[in-house]
Amino acid sequence: MRTPPPVGGPRGKSGFDLPERGEADVRRASRILAALRKRYPDAHCELDATTPHELLVATILSAQATDVGVNKATPGLFAAFPTPADFAAASPEKIAPHLRTLNFWRNKSKSVHGAMTMLMERHGGAVPDDMESLLALPGVARKTANVVLGNAFAINVGVVVDTHVGRISQRFDLTTETDPKRIEPHLMALFPRPSWCLLSHLFIFHGRKVCKARGGSCADDAICRRYCANAVAD
């Protein structure tokens, strides 16, 4: 497994500048991480996949869709197209019927076909384990690349920021930013690199179970009462 470059200074973690955070903020973030790890010892990626290419496909499909919805679509999809070569040999029109239950299924069928075709042409059918190569694939943005690198290869180069991670980050006063691209470096500056992949799973679990966008139970939750602005608002 390839090791990412060592962390060193404000640009060492990702290639872009990270905000300066004080020791008190870092210690507070450490307490939040410890509390969530204790609460959710089984936190994990909830997209069903057994290989890197399956995870890549599932993550492409997860845009504007729930993990539950993706997991309902992928068994039939992966049975019909077991390998990147099978996807590449097909056409978007043959892939599309397996995705009809998902939003933007026509566009997603094109992205999946394009990504698998490029895997075959440039990488011999293997999913690359670096950010630059992943971002060159159709349908792959930074969030998708972070999911694949962290979960398929245990390589932490960033933090996945979805709607749950963004909401928890703001409510727990870890950032004032609202754009996922701006939230990510704040989290990277606060939390240790080895925790970045797990951190997103912990925030997602807590966001789905407790600290919900609407109808959450923040006021009744010990972690939220200590760290979440929404618990006070409730």
What tens digit of pLDDT does each residue of 59-100 get?
999 999 999 999 999 999 999 999 999 999 999 999 999 999
- CA-nearest of 63, 47, 72, 73 to 144 is 63
Write the pLDDT tens digit of every residue in 113-130: 999 999 999 999 999 999
Confidence label for 16 from pLDDT (cuts 50, 70 and 90): low
CB atoms within 10 A of CB 122: 13
> For residue 65, how far is the Cα from the chain centroid?
13
Please report, for residues 24, 67, 100, 204, the alpha-carbon distance to residue 45 in angstroms, rounded to integers and kept in the order given.
Answer: 30, 9, 23, 9
Please provide the average confidence, as pLDDT, over all residues in the chain. Answer: 92
Share of residues in the chain with pLDDT > 90 (%): 87
Residues with catalytic function: 143, 162
Go through the domains of the chain in sequence order and give each one's CATH number. Answer: 23-43+157-233 (1.10.1670.10), 52-152 (1.10.340.30)
Buried b (16+ CB within 10 A) or exposed e, 173-185: ebbebeebeebbb
Tokens 């077991």 appear where?
82
